[in-house]
């Protein structure tokens, strides 16, 4: 295993801007490396890069994301005390370039005989990337992702199901002196909020709803023409998720009953959840490889969402592992060089031992 090439590649990728939706330059850079080694690749309609590396054994899928959050332009990596960080003005982008550089380094610089299917996705942070991947390209039934910011050894077992929702009440504006000429869009919204209020606490066991944004009106002397309420449903339990969705619909219909304007309820940004069992054979194999590397596997019962949610919903049993990245999505993001090398060691072991 050659680590010097990995460190160099990681620093190169970090310096290429790739905020969500602008992954072209980093993708082209990676393609230029693949071409030198005569590796074949495909790009789908939204820009996800797919590399099939033929070899023995059952194919295994590895998926990293090319995009970063903001502030992610002009990143200047600083290497200090065996740690890589940014200069404090931007994020570092180790989320997910630590794993991406490992994958590309293995493809380009290592000789391993294992059938690998590698996806380098776009727009993981915003949505709209892997959702559009042509899953017929994939033969793997199992996959691994390193994209969880915890000490290496962590295995994510669960991720929530999420949907956003938006209520829009459209009435008619009027001067406050002539309210009878207007249709007040705030009234059904207040009705809705009044009814959902008691469900907005964590102590409620049956539903899991948050209202994050309320916007109404344009001026204090005008009957508000438009009122918008936005929120999300987030749950690890599908029954609770469905119950919450039904409840939102019911309360919405009650709230708009006497409203003379237009009322619209939309759900979008859906992300499926998943739940792996600790004693699942695939999870057990992953844990045993982690143990062989003198690490203690540990299980994360809660996590944010990632490409893993989409892959799992397509029946590719995908396990998200911790990558050692510290403070991702902040200007204080950093990673130990040793952890970068450790991810590579683990991926090589997974490729040969799973
Ligand atoms: Zn990430």
Compute the distance from residue 240 Cα to the ligand 1 centre, in Å. 27
**Ligand 1 centre and the CA of 348: distance in Å?**
21
pLDDT at 44: 98
pLDDT of residue 177: 95
Give pLDDT tens digits for 167-213.
999 999 999 999 999 999 999 999 999 999 988 875 656 678 999 99
Same domain, 265 and 292: no
Q: What is the pLDDT along the chain (354 residues), one digit of tens a residue?
A: 678 899 999 999 999 999 999 999 999 999 999 999 999 999 999 999 999 999 999 999 999 999 999 999 999 999 999 999 999 999 999 999 999 999 999 999 999 999 999 999 999 999 899 999 999 999 999 999 999 999 999 999 999 999 999 999 999 999 999 999 999 999 999 999 999 998 887 565 667 899 999 999 999 999 999 999 999 998 988 888 999 999 999 999 999 999 999 999 999 988 899 999 999 999 999 999 999 999 999 999 877 889 999 999 999 999 999 999 999 999 999 999 999 999 999 999 999 999
Cα 347 to ligand 1 centroid, rounded to whole Å: 17
How many structural domains is the chain composed of?
2
Ligand 1 midpoint to CA 77 (Å): 18
Cα 11 to averaged position of ligand 1 atoms, centre (Å): 17
Domain match, 282 and 245 both: no
* Ligand 1 centre distance from Cα of residue 157 (Å): 17
- Cα of 132 to ligand 1 centre, how many Å? 18
The pLDDT of residue 203 is: 62
147 C-alpha vs ligand 1 centroid, how far in Å?
A: 5
Choosing from 222, 250, 271, the residue where a domain stops is 271
- Cα distances (angstroms) measured from residue 125 to each of 71, 73, 93, 258, 310: 13, 15, 12, 40, 13
Tokens of residue 180, six digits: 């009878």
Domain identity same for 83 and 175: no
How many angstroms does the Cα of residue 101 sit away from the middle of ligand 1? 13
Cα 75 to Cα 140: distance, rounded to the nearest angstrom: 35
Q: What is the pTM of this model?
A: 0.87
pLDDT of residue 304: 82
Instruction: Please enumerate in sequence order all residues whose Cβ is within 8 A of that of 4, keeping only pairs 6 or more positions apart, or say none.
Output: none
User: Which has the closest alpha carbon to 215: 232, 227, 204, 231?
Assistant: 227
For residue 200, what pLDDT is reported? 85
In angstroms, rounded to a whole number, what is the distance separating the alpha carbons of residues 200 and 193?
10
Query: Do 240 and 295 belong together in one domain?
Result: no
Query: Rounded to the nearest whole angstrom, what is the distance from the C-alpha of residue 305 to the centroid of ligand 1?
Result: 9
Place of tokens 């493809």: 107
Spacing, Cα 184 to ligand 1 middle (Å):
43
Of the residues 212, 243, 271, the one at which a domain ends: 271
Q: How far is the CA of 197 from the centre of ligand 1 (A)?
A: 33
- Whether 289 contacts 350, CB under 8 Å: yes
Residues 166 and 223 in one domain: yes
Tell me how far the alpha carbon of residue 306 lies from the centroid of ligand 1, in angstroms: 7
Distance from Cα 130 to the centre of ligand 1, integer Å:
13
Q: How far is the CA of 351 from the centre of ligand 1 (A)?
A: 22
Q: What is the CATH number of the domain that holds 169?
A: 3.30.70.360
Q: 304 and 217 in one domain?
A: no
Domain that holds residue 167: 161-271
Looking only at the bridges linking them, the beta strands covering 78-80 and 262-271 are: unpaired
Q: Which of 108, 129, 124 is nearest to 344 (CA)?
A: 108
Q: For residues 272-295, b (16+ Cβ closer than 10 Å) or e, as one string?
A: bbbebeeeeebbeebbebbeeeeb
**Centroid of ligand 1 to alpha carbon of 102 (angstroms):** 14
Residues 251 and 106 in one domain: no
Query: Do 323 and 145 form a contact (C-beta atoms < 8 A)?
Result: no
> Residues in the chain, how many?
354
How confident is the model at residue 294, as a pLDDT? Answer: 97
Question: Distance from the CA of 308 to the center of ligand 1, in angstroms?
Answer: 10
Question: What is residue 124's predicted lDDT score, i.e. its pLDDT?
Answer: 96
Would you say 194 and 163 are in contact if contact means Cβ atoms under 8 Å apart? Answer: no
Distance CA 148, CA 151 (A): 9
Chain centre to alpha carbon of residue 181: 47
Cα of 103 from ligand 1 centre, angstroms: 15
Number of neighbours of residue 190 by Cβ within 10 angstroms: 15
CATH no. for residue 22? 3.40.630.10
Instruction: Compute, in angstroms, the gap from residue 196 CA to the centroid of ligand 1.
Output: 33
Predicted local confidence at residue 202, as pLDDT:
59
- Which of 271, 287, 314 marks a domain boundary? 271
Q: Are residues 263 and 296 in the same domain?
A: no
Residue 273's nearest CA partner among 321, 316, 313, 322 is: 313
Lookup: tokens for 153: 């050894």
Residues 180 and 72 in one domain: no
Pair (77, 197) in one structural domain: no
Q: Are residues 336 and 283 in the same domain?
A: yes
**Neighbouring residues of 110: CB distance < 8 A, sequence distance ≥ 6:** 1, 2, 348
Whole-number Å distance, alpha carbon 93 to ligand 1 midpoint, is 9
Whether residue 127 sits in one domain with residue 52: yes
């Amino acid at each position: 295993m050659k680590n010097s090439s990995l460190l160099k590649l990681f620093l190169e990728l970090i310096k290429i801007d790739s905020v969500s939706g602008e992954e072209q330059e980093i993708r082209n850079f990676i393609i230029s490396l693949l071409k030198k080694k005569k590796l074949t690749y495909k790009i789908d309609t939204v820009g996800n890069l797919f590399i099939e590396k033929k070899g023995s054994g059952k194919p295994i899928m590895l998926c990293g994301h090319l995009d970063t959050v903001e502030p992610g332009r002009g990143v200047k990596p600083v290497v200090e005390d065996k740690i890589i960080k940014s200069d404090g003005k931007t994020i570092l982008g180790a989320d997910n370039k630590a794993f991406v550089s490992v994958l590309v380094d293995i493809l380009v610089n290592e000789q391993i005989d294992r059938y690998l299917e590698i996806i380098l996705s776009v727009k993981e942070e915003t949505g709209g990337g892997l959702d559009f991947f042509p899953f017929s390209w994939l033969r793997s039934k199992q996959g691994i992702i390193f994209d969880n910011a915890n000490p290496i050894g962590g295995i994510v077992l669960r991720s929530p199901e999420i949907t956003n929702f938006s209520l829009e009440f459209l009435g008619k504006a009027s001067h406050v002196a002539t309210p009878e000429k207007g249709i007040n869009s705030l009234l059904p919204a207040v009705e809705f909020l009044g009814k959902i209020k008691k469900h907005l606490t964590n102590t409620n066991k049956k539903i899991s709803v948050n209202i994050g944004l309320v916007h109404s009106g344009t001026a204090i002397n005008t009957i508000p023409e438009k009122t918008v309420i936005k929120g999300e449903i987030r749950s690890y339990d599908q029954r609770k998720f469905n119950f919450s969705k039904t409840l939102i619909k019911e309360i919405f219909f009650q709230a708009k009953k006497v409203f003379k304007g237009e009322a619209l309820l939309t759900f979008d940004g859906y992300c499926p959840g998943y739940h792996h069992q600790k004693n699942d054979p695939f999870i057990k194999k992953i844990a045993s490889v982690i143990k062989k590397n003198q690490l203690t596997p540990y299980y994360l019962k809660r996590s944010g969402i990632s490409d893993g949610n989409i892959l799992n919903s397509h029946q590719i049993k995908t396990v998200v592992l911790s990558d050692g990245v510290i403070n991702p999505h902040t200007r204080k993001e950093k990673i130990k060089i040793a952890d970068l090398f450790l991810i590579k060691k683990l991926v090589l072991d997974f490729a040969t031992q799973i």
